Amino acid sequence: MEIPQSIRPARSFNPARICMRICTRICTYSGAILLLCLNYWINRFFGRPDLDQIAYHLQFGTELLGASDPALARRFVRWCVLAPLLLLAAVLLAEGRYFGRRRRPDCRARTLLPALALVAAVGLWLVQLSVVDYVAARFGPDYFGAHYVPPASVAVRARKPKNLVLIYVESLEAGYSERRVFGDDLIAPLSRLAATRFASYEQVPGTGWTIAAIVATQCALPLKRMTVFDVHTQGEVVPAFLPRATCLGDILARHGYRNVFMGGGSPAFTGKGKFLRAHHYHEVLGKEDWQRAGVPASAMNGWGLFDDDLLLRARARLDALHAARQPFNLTLLTVTSHEPAGYLSPGCARRGHAGFDGVIRCAAADVAAFVDYAAARGYLEDTNIVIVGDHLARRNPLSAGLDSLAERSVFNAFIGSAAPARNRAQLVHFDLLPTILEFNGFTVEGGRLGLGYSGFNPHPVQPDPLRVAQLRASVLNQSPVYRALWAP
């Protein structure tokens, strides 16, 4: 027999349960909105970084915030703090007004909405970061262990070694020279330099941001996520940076070179200074040093020194190193072409440059002028210069043009007298270690170091034609051999 509505027991009013439901609802919506805003912020200002890159940067926490461009923190607050709060308020208001107007609210739909929003946001992240591929890599073949040649096991002999100037230009691509895309050669001063070039310098996983590119080119190995959330270093900055790897600075120091690094930004950012000092760089100079030297904040951009100022100081350092008559490696790292919009220096503006294309033009002119200075002083008789982009450009005002190219390639130029003959047209970051050494007058037995193959001189073993595809598929797979390089 049906109990009349009027005499059914009323549901007990439970304030704690209602409060819990409201809090859960708000938290679920907040999580979904925060993920969406964070995804937007990352893609807008950095393009599509991979999971390794994001995880690596998380490792440095407060060091990362303190050493980066303050504009980065301001944009983060705007898009990942203020925007989520406003969107949350708007969603709750819209939901309340919609369901409040209905006589019989669809309670099930209202209950499911926050969960559906969170599922959609998480799904977007999984797709954007290729998480399925990332998880699959943990169970794939150990490409690194199968192909890594420990540099310490290879005979590297000095024939007629020269001094080295190694210049990493922030996000410099060869494609900026394409007149059909940009209407002009934006890097004409660099294009005109007499240099040996490799037509295809391709980017593979584990090399796509500055510190990863430096590690890849100097140690011939990728920078992988295992440096973060590893059982021995979880949540901490690594105590030693690849202590068991042998890198460019180690090899040159062993042959009597003095290694000097000069960068526009802070060496603390993402552990650059920690890596360089761990691998026999005797001097590591960056933003904090320029501040101590009296450079006012008004003469810097958010990251540090403008390129023209850095390269002017590098001229003086080059003079001093050359006069000391000790073999040297002077490594430079520029910053003004950094995404999302670059940093036009007052000096570049006075020369008539404007906009992001002006930043690229001026950066190219400043680096070329440094080469001209070295040549005019007669340094190229005993000093070689290598100019490379650190990695492909990320999201910037010229990205559409770069994306239209059939193949995107990192800029490279090897400048010096009596350069050895190239043995192929293609490089990846890992090849730079043996390639730079052989360009600079060393002999690398077999032409192989780490995952790299020298691009100069005849060698019996050449890279597999499918190597780039193999690297993209497997280089970040789990590897006990790679993990051992981080062991104290």
Domain 151-484 matching CATH 3.40.720.10: the answer reads: yes
CA distance 174 to 155: 33
**Among the ranges given (134-148, 290-304, 396-410), the one the predictor scored with the smallest mean pLDDT:** 134-148
CA distance 363 to 83: 35
CA distance 263 to 336: 11
Query: How many other CB atoms are found less than 10 A from the CB of residue 217?
Result: 28
Q: What is the DSSP letter of 378?
A: T
Interhelix angle for 210-219 vs 432-439, to 10°?
60
pLDDT tens column, 14-64: 777 778 877 888 888 888 888 888 877 777 766 666 666 666 656 555 455
More confident residue, 129 or 176: 176
More confident residue, 471 or 16: 471
Domain extent listing, the chain: 13-137, 151-484
DSSP-derived pairing of the beta strands 383-389 and 163-169: parallel
Give the per-residue pLDDT at 125.
Answer: 72
Q: At 290, is the secondary structure helix, strand, or coil?
A: helix
Give me the count of residues in the chain: 488
CA distance 410 to 413: 10
pLDDT tens column, 70-108: 666 777 788 778 888 888 888 888 877 776 655 555 556
Based on the number of CB atoms within 10 Å of its own CB, is 176 exposed (0-12), middle (13-18) or buried (19 or more)? Answer: buried
Task: Please give the C-alpha separations between residue 442 and each of 325, 412, 467, in angstroms, as whole numbers.
Answer: 19, 20, 25
pLDDT tens column, 201-242: 999 999 999 999 999 999 999 998 654 444 334 234 567 899
Residue from 170, 215, 197 nearest 389 by CA = 170
CA distance 104 to 88: 24
